[in-house]
Homo-oligomer: A and B are copies of this chain.
Amino acid sequence: MSNEQLDSLREELDQVNLDILSLINKRGHLVKQIGEIKHKQGMNRFDPVRERKMLNDLLKHNDGPFEYSTIQHLFKEIFKMGLELQEDDHSKALLV
């Protein structure tokens, strides 16, 4: 019985992993588009005020089980991935 339950929870977890992957990549595409607009307008890629606003939004909506400090740490990693993606694009553009 418990093994069936374990298998079914694991299947659900596998699906959640793929859903997270899909959203992370969707986020990557959005960040690239935002980066292109900001680049054209000569705006700085990194905007600490905007980052703070996004973190505050997450704090407001976090209902656990993870502590907000853990969520904040994870999202700072996700934001960094976005910035690095934009840097890659610009270094490639410079090579053309």
Contacts and interface: CB of A to CB of B under 8 A. Distances in A.
Contacts of A20: 20, 23-24, 27, 78
Contact of A17 (B9, B38, B40, B58): B58
Interface string A7-38: 00110111011111111111111111110011
SS class, residues of chain A in contact with chain B: helix
Given A13-B30, A34-B6, A65-B32, A21 B71 contact: yes
Each complex incorporates copies of this chain amounting to 2
Interface of A: 2, 5-6, 9-10, 12-14, 16-34, 37-38, 40-41, 50, 54, 57-58, 61-66, 70-71, 74-75, 77-78, 81, 84-85
